[in-house]
């Protein structure tokens, strides 16, 4: 096992009807900025419940954070934070709202000349030393952003990862009933996103991280077990609760500690979202099977372990076992209603070179757990994903 630090200060408040506890979680004298997306929390009554729970605290609202949150939108909230001396940020929404809020906090406390440097230069966030506490109320299980320190922000035709220990939420309320209103396609996106957060940290090369591997396998098997149930019966509390907790645990640092991590599916996927507007989870479902086919040799041992332990495939030679596991994975995504080829989204071969150019522009030239996945290999991956 590799050396590691594991640090995660987020207080999780999990379960039904716990929004009232905001009164204990948010300081009594706080001036709170509530951040949200395009309006689902208004439509389904969550915003009313949140403001009621905050009682007589000073509250300002900032809505309109779009999926794949944009730098320009978030900078409007930064102005409000500064003008109104906000001292508590409460994100109510999915990954985009939570990521946006993390960025707003860093941007409001950044002392450099150009705030976009926080996105363009990964070390810029390390210069931020002050922070406004962030709380979250999660409405979409997928990203794990509610219990990690990362954020993904759209800027100038790209998606950029930013992170700092100051970005961990101080608390996150995970009430599975708040996710019952999600359309099936967003639930499916969340299942795939969680699945691939786990495989990015698990289908690499062996490092004898037995706890990490078995926990990863446990999350994957849970997702396979509950996916149909939670899509077809959105109000089945226990199925949804298992999805919510799996999503949080899939990307909170636990299973990735002490083991190699890949993240090439995500980095190539970010370009597909930025260029073609495909939802984050769907880009991953397109890329994962193609990456595994092309990287079969580098990932051979872990792909075999994945086939055996997650899909119980044990008969046949090694190549057959691995191919069957890749097919099972694709069938799993397709069974959730998620298409797994670029052509399903109207993307044709002539667009591939644009993706390669964008990857190079964004410095994504040495991807994967072995840092040898080059743009030329990305091109092969995209060609077989057509």
* CB of 150 or CB of 209, closer to ligand NZQ: 150
Q: Which listed option, ligand NZQ, Zn ion, none, makes contact with residue 136 (CB within 5 to 8 Å by class)?
A: none
324 CB-side CA count, 13 A? 17
Q: Does 323 bind Zn ion (CB under 5 A)?
A: no
Q: What angle do CA 254, 258, 260 make, to 5 degrees?
A: 100
Sign of the CA dihedral running 110, 111, 115, 118: negative
Q: Which listed option, ligand NZQ, Zn ion, none, makes contact with residue 262 (CB within 5 to 8 Å by class)?
A: none
How far apart CA 208 and CA 281 sit, in angstroms, is 29
Q: Which listed option, Zn ion, ligand NZQ, none, makes contact with residue 67 (CB within 5 to 8 Å by class)?
A: ligand NZQ
How many of the chain's residues bind Zn ion (CB under 5 A)? 1
Interaction residues for ligand NZQ, span 122-151 (CB under 6 A): 139-140, 142-145, 148, 150-151
Among residues 257, 256, 231, the alpha carbon closest in space to that of 242 is found at 231
Q: Does 146 bind Zn ion (CB under 5 A)?
A: no
Nearest approach, Cβ of residue 75 and Zn ion (Å): 24
Among residues 64, 48, 59, the alpha carbon closest in space to that of 26 is found at 59
**According to CB under 6 A, which one of 67, 133, 135, 158 is a site residue for ligand NZQ?**
67
Cα end-to-end span (Å), the chain: 37
CA dihedral 381, 196, 278, 349 (to 10 degrees): 10
How far apart CA 372 and CA 128 sit, in angstroms, is 32
Q: Are 112 and 124 in contact (CB under 8 A)?
A: yes
Measured from the Cβ of residue 11, the count of other Cβ atoms closer than 10 Å reads 12
Nearest approach, Cβ of residue 372 and ligand NZQ (Å): 22
Interaction mask 171-200, ligand NZQ, x per CB under 6 A: -------xx-xx---x--x---x-------
Q: Does 289 bind ligand NZQ (CB under 6 A)?
A: no
How far apart CA 227 and CA 247 sit, in angstroms, is 12
How far apart CA 84 and CA 357 sit, in angstroms, is 42
User: What secondary structure, in 3-state letters, does 199-218 show?
Assistant: HHCCCCCCCCCHHHHHHHHH
**According to CB under 6 A, which one of 152, 174, 226, 259 is a site residue for ligand NZQ?**
152
Interaction mask 185-224, Zn ion, x per CB under 5 A: --------x-------------------------------
Q: Does 283 bind ligand NZQ (CB under 6 A)?
A: no
Q: Does 271 bind Zn ion (CB under 5 A)?
A: no
Sign of the CA dihedral running 44, 30, 75, 159: negative
Interaction mask 81-120, ligand NZQ, x per CB under 6 A: ------------xxxxx-x---------------------
Q: Does 37 bind ligand NZQ (CB under 6 A)?
A: yes
Residue with tokens 């199925």: 239
- Binding residues vs Zn ion (CB under 5 A): 193
- Binding residues vs ligand NZQ (CB under 6 A): 37-41, 44, 67-68, 93-97, 99, 139-140, 142-145, 148, 150-152, 178-179, 181-182, 186, 189, 193, 251, 266, 280
């Amino acid at each position: 096992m590799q050396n590691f630090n594991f640090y995660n200060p987020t207080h999780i408040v999990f379960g039904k009807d716990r929004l009232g506890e905001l009164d204990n979680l948010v300081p009594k004298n706080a001036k709170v900025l509530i951040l949200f997306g395009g309006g689902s929390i208004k439509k389904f009554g969550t915003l009313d419940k949140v403001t009621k729970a905050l009682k007589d605290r000073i509250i300002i609202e900032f809505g309109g954070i779009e999926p794949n949150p944009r730098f320009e939108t978030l900078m409007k909230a930064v102005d409000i934070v500064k003008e109104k001396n906000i001292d508590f940020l409460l994100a109510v929404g999915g990954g985009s709202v939570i990521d946006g809020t993390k960025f707003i906090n860093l941007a409001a406390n950044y002392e450099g000349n150009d705030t976009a440097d926080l996105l363009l230069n990964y070390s810029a966030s390390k210069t931020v030393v002050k922070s406004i506490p962030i709380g979250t109320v999660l409405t979409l299980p997928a990203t794990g952003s509610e219990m990690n320190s990362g954020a993904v922000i759209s800027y100038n035709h790209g998606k950029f990862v930013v992170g700092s220990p100051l970005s961990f939420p101080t608390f996150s309320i995970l009430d599975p009933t708040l996710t019952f209103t999600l359309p099936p396609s967003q639930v499916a996106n969340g299942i795939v996103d969680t699945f691939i957060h786990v495989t990015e940290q698990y289908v690499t090369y062996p490092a004898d991280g037995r706890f990490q591997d078995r926990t990863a396998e446990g999350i994957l098997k849970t997702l396979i077990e509950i996916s149909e149930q939670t899509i077809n019966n959105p109000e089945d509390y226990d199925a949804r609760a298992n999805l919510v907790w799996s999503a949080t645990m899939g990307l909170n640092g636990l299973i990735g500690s002490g083991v190699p991590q890949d993240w090439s599916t995500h980095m190539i996927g970010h370009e597909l979202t930025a260029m073609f507007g495909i939802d984050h989870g769907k880009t991953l479902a397109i890329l994962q099977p193609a990456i595994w086919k092309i990287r079969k040799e580098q990932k051979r041992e872990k792909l075999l372990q994945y086939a055996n332990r997650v899909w119980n495939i044990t008969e046949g030679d090694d190549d057959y076992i691995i191919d069957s596991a890749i097919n099972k994975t694709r069938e799993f995504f397709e069974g959730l209603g998620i298409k797994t080829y670029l052509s399903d989204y109207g993307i044709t071969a002539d667009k591939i070179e644009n993706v390669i150019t964008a990857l190079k522009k964004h410095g994504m030239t040495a991807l994967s757990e072995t840092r040898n996945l080059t743009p030329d290999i990305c091109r092969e991956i995209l060609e077989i994903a057509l």
